[in-house]
Amino acid sequence: MRRRFALPLASLALALPGALIPAASASAAPADKPQVLSSWTQTSASSYNTWAAARANQSAWSAYGFNWSTDYCSSSPDNPFGFPFALSCARHDFGYRNYKAAGTFSANKARLDSAFYEDLKRVCARYSGATLSSCNATAWTYYRAVSVFGYSASADAPAA
């Protein structure tokens, strides 16, 4: 008689703690994810530098579930006329992809585009004379392209 109850009781004893302890969602991001995302997508140099440091150590931020993927400057050159715009484009992609995933892209697009332009102008600030003028003109062209043609249809739908 003891054996008849031993197996079901043992199974119940093993299953009970799992049933009583609420399962933590594997995809739950920390509550401060919107604040972190915002701090990394502002127009300031310090915001850019903080994002760049996090990008270099993405594994430390894995719990946040950020999308770090990038196609850099999409179909435009990443380094037009030798100006290194690739990382500015990567941060712009980061903002677009993560705000789309959060469903708040429309409310943040103008700031993301402005941050992109400020990043590009900081790249250009390394130059002088005609090279500076050429870089700034190229930066303005890139900025206008994203501000006008940047993804806007169903903008708050999660990115595919």
Residue 136 is assigned to a structural domain of this protein? yes
Radius of gyration from C-alpha coordinates of the chain: 23
- Output the 3-class SS for 57-89: CHHHHHHHCCCCCCCCCCCCCCCHHHCCCHHHH
Task: Supply the range of the domain harboring residue 112.
Answer: 31-55+90-160
Averaged over successive runs of 10 residues, the pLDDT of the chain (160 residues) comes to: 46 42 57 98 98 98 97 96 98 98 97 98 98 98 95 52
Residue 63 is assigned to a structural domain of this protein? no
Closest to 138 in 3D by CA, of 71, 69, 66, 88: 88
Give phi and psi for 9, each to the nearest 5: -70, -40
The residues, ordered by sequence, that sit 6+ positions from 8 with a Cβ below 8 Å of its Cβ are: none
Domain count, the chain: 1
In the prediction, which pLDDT does 24 show? 40
Neighbours of 78 (CB within 10 A): 17
Tokens 């093993």 found at:
14
In the prediction, which pLDDT does 141 show? 98
Residue 123 is assigned to a structural domain of this protein? yes
Residue 84 is assigned to a structural domain of this protein? no
- Amino acid, res. 126: R
CATH number at 145 reads 1.20.90.10
In the prediction, which pLDDT does 41 show? 98
Residue 105 is assigned to a structural domain of this protein? yes
Candidates 92, 97, 100, 109; catalytic one: 92
Residue 132 is assigned to a structural domain of this protein? yes
In the prediction, which pLDDT does 151 show? 77
Contact criterion met (CB below 8 Å) for 98 and 67: yes
Residue 65 is assigned to a structural domain of this protein? no
Q: b vs e for 114-138, b when ≥16 Cβ sit within 10 Å of the residue's Cβ? A: ebbbbbbbebbeeeeeeeeebbbeb
Whether 110 is catalytic:
no
pTM: 0.79
Give phi and psi for 26, each to the nearest 5: -65, -25
Residue 137 is assigned to a structural domain of this protein? yes
In the prediction, which pLDDT does 35 show? 98
Contact criterion met (CB below 8 Å) for 138 and 73: no
